[in-house]
Structure 1
Amino acid sequence: MDDELLNLLRSVDTPSVCNAIEVAQGQRGFNGFTRGTMLASAPDQVMAGYAVTAKIKALAPPDETADVIRARRMAYYRAMSEGPKPSIAVVEDEDFPNCIGAYWGEVNTTVHKGFGMSGALTNGVMRDLGDLAPNFPVVAGSIGPSHGFVHVTELGTPVKIFGLIVAHGDFVHADRHGAVVIPPEVLPKLGAALETMFAAEKIVLEPAREEGFDFEAFEKAWSAFEKART
């Protein structure tokens, strides 16, 4: 990951990235994004990085032995610590839509941030709002007080987060709007695509912000915008 591109991705919101992917692909129809409304622990923060995937459950106690559960938990933390950087923890709660286990709280966000990770994406629960690790955004499905019987069930397998399938190693961009998986062939083109998209948007935005803007000015600007956009 090029540092310049990474810094750019961390400076723009996820809707901009979603649009820019279509610019890079030269067509509409990109569908690698979450569906529905998600909750953001830090609405002004963005996360971008390679997915380290896992699955959890919390509604009922695990039916495996304590040794097995502990070994998988330690394997989980090892995977999170050793994943390629920048990295994001992408964790599917298999109890969805009846999730109760707030896996993401003060302890886990602090641990994962300590591993050098950039944030967490989950369809599950977060808690300890106000005490989460700073500069470690969490985009989650809900907020709740309990950890239930939370335990790790799978590591490194594809997960589903609000309709978005994320494989281990996918490059994810997420913020308060939800998340996208950036196709690998698009990544090298994304910087130029964002520049092209922002330039096209200015064709409408700049006249619309000027005094005296009216329908005639809009019609002229929109015609030019349609020729420039994807």
Structure 2
Amino acid sequence: MAEYPFTAADLDALRQWDTPTICNALELVVPHRRGYGFTVRQLVAADPRLPPICGLARTGTIRAAAPSGRTAAVDRAARLGWYDYVAEAAMPTVVVLQDLDDTPGTGAFWGEVHTNVHKALGAQGVVTSGSIRDLDTSAAGFQLLAGMVNPSHAYVHIVQYGQEVSVHGMAAHHDAVVHADRHGAVVIPHDAVVRIPAAIDLCLRRERLILDACGSRDFTVEALKDALARADEIH
């Protein structure tokens, strides 16, 4: 069993903040990561009202534009192997599924059945460059962030799992910590997880000075400059 420098409770605690706030904290905790590690193209949120998710990545690739070329038995074994892979986790998971087709999203892997299956397997949701469907009948509370919505599953099949994948510019490997909500997703380095709350507290205290100045009935540009200067002094 893998050992982690954080607990399931640490990951759960990060769900109280949205993904942009997590990104702000990462700029302080791991400044060299400022320009990468997050999705850079918009994802469709099946239900924008759902809270953030945070868990260990279960990674895989799919195709849907054409049959796999494998026997039905091999296709089934790949699907069942995927289920075993997702289920074998010490903590809640987030699926990160890359669609390898030239036109990603030709067929939807995610709908009523697979959202319920993966929720039962311990996943909180999925971040995928592929497509989703069954928006009204998907598993309650299961976060779906996808490249598009599509009514058909076409020839969708699992290609491989457990390797590094890339979804909308975000690279993620097996067991990476992924935080996601309607804004997109970000990978949190393992050694940064427990440092995020303190960094968020610092960010919020700095922002509060600026927001208070902007919301004041006595607002002036000079007051804003003063608030910015005082925010810079908070460490």
TM-score (norm 2): 0.91
Amino acid at match of 1:42: D
1:150 CA displacement: 0.5
Match of 2:210? 204
Amino acid at match of 2:15: R
Match of 2:124? 118
Find out whether 1:222 has 2:228 as its counterpart. Answer: yes
Deviation string 1:175-226 (CA, Å, 9 cap, x unpaired) is 1111110011211211111111111111111222222222121111112223
* Contact 1:119–1:138, Cα closer than 8 Å, also in 2: yes
Any unmatched runs of 5+ in structure 2?
1-5
**Residue in structure 2 matching 1:50, options 49, 56, 62:** 56
Between 1:95-104 and 1:34-43, the stretch displaced more is 95-104
Amino acid at match of 1:184: H
Q: Distance in 2 between matches of 1:174 and 1:15?
A: 9
Q: Distance in 1 between matches of 2:162 and 2:9?
A: 28
Q: Distance in 1 between matches of 2:221 and 2:147?
A: 41
Figure out how many residues of one structure are paired with residues of the other and give that number: 229
**Residue in structure 2 matching 1:94, options 96, 100, 114:** 100
* Contact 1:10–1:47, Cα closer than 8 Å, also in 2: yes
* CA spacing shift, 1:21–1:223, aligned 2, 3 Å: same
1:33 CA displacement: 0.7
CA RMSD of aligned residues (A): 1.7
* CA spacing shift, 1:161–1:73, aligned 2, 3 Å: same
Between 1:153-162 and 1:184-193, the stretch displaced more is 184-193
- The secondary structure found in structure 2 opposite 1:32 is coil
Deviation string 1:155-186 (CA, Å, 9 cap, x unpaired) is 10111100111101100001111111001121
**Residue in structure 1 matching 2:7, options 2, 9, 12:** 2
Deviation string 1:131-162 (CA, Å, 9 cap, x unpaired) is 11111111111001000000100010111100
Any unmatched runs of 5+ in structure 1?
none
Find out whether 1:17 has 2:22 as its counterpart. Answer: yes
Amino acid at match of 1:106: E
1:14 CA displacement: 0.6
* CA spacing shift, 1:50–1:98, aligned 2, 3 Å: closer
1:83 CA displacement: 2.4
Find out whether 1:34 has 2:39 as its counterpart. Answer: yes
* CA spacing shift, 1:48–1:159, aligned 2, 3 Å: same
* Contact 2:163–2:174, Cα closer than 8 Å, also in 1: yes
TM-score (norm 1): 0.93
Match of 1:157? 163
User: What's the % identity of the aligned pairs?
Assistant: 37
Match of 1:195? 201
* CA spacing shift, 1:8–1:167, aligned 2, 3 Å: same
